[in-house]
Structure 1
């Protein structure tokens, strides 16, 4: 079986870190005289996730800076890329998968910061694209596992799913956007469970190593708690205090960042890939 040469361990991390610093510098520059562009649709809908809006680089400080949790997880994944270990999953044997996963995690932080920091339409768009990029990665990776396909198939599925998700979000009226995203999340979780438990997928008999499933359920549990907090802390709801720095939506960011980290550990040690699979194709 051919292999992909390990990447320099610091390279992806440094690129990710520089991208994050460049983004924050760009946000600071744009915010000096007020962010350009029209307001995000949350302003008209009256639901910008509770926190009061102020000046500066972070219009909503807690909701903005909490997104560094995603960036931190992504950078840790990028550090991990290139390390050789005994696992035989795609995530452990082909550095392109963890590098893309880490990049998507950093993008999650950047996209959400762009939204909460600016509360402009372009920030909201980046936020939506980043969330759907993560879902597209998970579903494309599942398709690669189910059909035992290599990188080029994964890349095609990832790009197609991301384009489809983004087009659907742009087509659906803003007030239904959250419901659409929740539907995509549900589909992703259902497919993930079906891939991991053989009884639910008779067409693909290879099981996932049970010892790694706790990381999957830890990620699901963290996301479930975050979802409850997200709902209770929305504008006008019981845990909403616009003047407080202890924002429920910030907790949502941090807990879902934990989920992203748990899902990475789960995928990295998922079990063997078929001997016919060549990572460099």
Structure 2
């Protein structure tokens, strides 16, 4: 069975990735320097730009955290049988997708920090979207009664569309639209509906998105006076429109969901300190240190992905879908 070789396949794929990376880096055809910067200068992520195989060594190699946690997920899943009661027990299309997307975060981000190429930045954005759309689409599946095939069709349609459009128009698609940022809101809103489903809550749920936005530093007042920049917040009512079925399952939120949220908020706080575009006078910026704020962001976010993996494994269903 394929699952018997899953860990070997995952490890071999990562080994092949690093082999190809070093071969192309050695040949000199893959490495660049981000526009506006030079070797020896401080990157926008605080680390000094190196002439070696990794332009930002700590920020690049810290992405191994995603790879290790993702392979750990694969190892857990490969030792189980599918129960039919939880999509994250055993090798299901959804559990494999989640573990694969978690692993993909590593090479995706490593390519950006390692190569400083335009396409490296592109694959980094693609990898983040590949992960972050899973949670809210999974909730949409449950709240609207989608089949696994419908879920997968929706997932790959969104991911492929984003990949193509972001290649030509940038990560915000040329319309000031952050799919990654919106997805965080859609995740929490749909999670809210999963727990508090009712006709009234379907309407009210959109306001939860503004609370999430506020948590990350943008108040409802700022949204109101800058509607041309925050037009996309209208999508906060999408989960309410999609949610036509009351979930016939439940999840245990303590400790794993709260742990995942804690790790992500902690990581985001540190991320702000390592972003010289947002915080040019950061007191946490030590360009020549092996410990970089952005590297910590990667490591702690990897712990968040693992926490959410365990969270989804707590779901109990009364029926299969």
- Partner residue in 2 for 1:55: 51
Equivalent in the alignment of 1:262: 307
Contact map agreement 1:89 1:273 (CA 8 A) in 2: no
Deviates more, 1:249-258 or 1:171-180: 171-180
8 Å contact kept, 1:87–1:269:
no
**Matched residues in 1 for 2:308 and 2:175: separation?**
25
Matched, 1:232 2:305: no
1:113-152 per-position Cα deviation (integer Å, ceiling 9, x unaligned): 1111111112111111100000222222122121222221
Residues 1:252 and 2:248 aligned together: no
1:195 Cα offset (Å): 2.4
Q: Structure 2: 5+ residue runs without aligned partners? A: 203-242
Residue 164 (structure 1) shift: 4.0
Matched, 1:154 2:148: no
Work out the CA distance in 1 between the residues paired with 2:151 and 2:190: 16
Structure 2 length as normaliser, TM-score? 0.74
Tell me the equivalent position of 1:3: none
Equivalent residue number for residue 13 of structure 2: 19
C-alpha separation in 2, matches of 1:259 and 1:178: 27
Counterpart of 1:89 in 2: which secondary structure?
Answer: coil
For normalisation by structure 1, the TM-score amounts to: 0.83
Match of 1:36 in 2: 30
The 3-state SS of whatever aligns with 2:59 is helix
Cα gap change, 1:94/1:34 in structure 2, threshold over 3 Å: closer, same or farther?
Answer: closer
| Distance (Å, rounded) in 1 between the aligned partners of 2:273 and 2:176 | 15
Contact kept? 1:37, 1:121, Cα under 8 Å: no
Does the CA-based 8 Å contact 2:31-2:53 persist in structure 1? no
Indicate if the aligned counterparts of 1:71 and 1:107 stay in contact, CA closer than 8 A: yes
Q: Give, in whole Å, the separation in 1 of the partners of 2:63 and 2:266.
A: 17
Counterpart of 1:189? Answer: 188
Say whether residues 1:223 and 2:219 are aligned partners. no
Aligned match of 1:271 = 316
